[in-house]
Amino acid sequence: MKKTFFALFSLMTLVMASCAISYKFNGSSIDYTKIKTISIVDFPNQAALVYPPLATNFNEALKDEYSSKTRLVFVPQNGDLQVSGEIVGYNLSPMAVSSSGESMRTKLEITVNVRFVNTKNPTEDFEERFSAYQEFSNEQTIDQVQEELNEQIIKELISLIFNRTVANW
């Protein structure tokens, strides 16, 4: 009886030890034994409509995201992961029109083109466009809401880019 109990206990211990559940709360799934560095080239603003602080705010937010959510070391070029691209769209579009034909809401949309290179796993390389937008009431001018809307849109774009490059959801 003791031998059977000991054998069963040993088997259960072995099974439990072989099962592992791993949770990563930073949102990334990077193998730090292979990938140690990242290079992020500043995204120039090539949109037809230009909001001057956009490129600087976007570039800083992008670097902050990788800095705060990964252990990757930033290098100026040739990182294990390489992120580059450009801001290609900054557009205002009417969304809702009143019965008198006036626009009631406007959409501000920002589009960025992103190139991603993973030197350790080239199958993950891509070039893709990401867009995000916010709407605002025409009771306010774009000058009154532009800074806040840009902050919200940049946050969403950075999240999309981060998830696409290193989260592997």
Question: Mind listing the pLDDT tens digit for each residue in 51-89?
Answer: 999 999 999 999 999 999 999 999 999 999 999 999 999
**Residue 54 counted as domain residue:** yes
**Residue 11 counted as domain residue:** no
Report the number of distinct structural domains present in the chain.
1
Full domain range(s) for residue 154: 29-167
**Residue 2 counted as domain residue:** no
Q: What CATH number does residue 97 fall under?
A: 3.30.160.150
- The DSSP letter of residue 163 is I
**Strand 103-118, strand 37-40: pairing:** unpaired
**Residue 120 counted as domain residue:** yes
- pLDDT at residue 12 in the model: 57
**Residue 5 counted as domain residue:** no
**Residue 20 counted as domain residue:** no
* 3-45 pLDDT tens trace: 655 555 555 555 454 443 333 444 567 999 999 999 999 999 9
**Residue 109 counted as domain residue:** yes
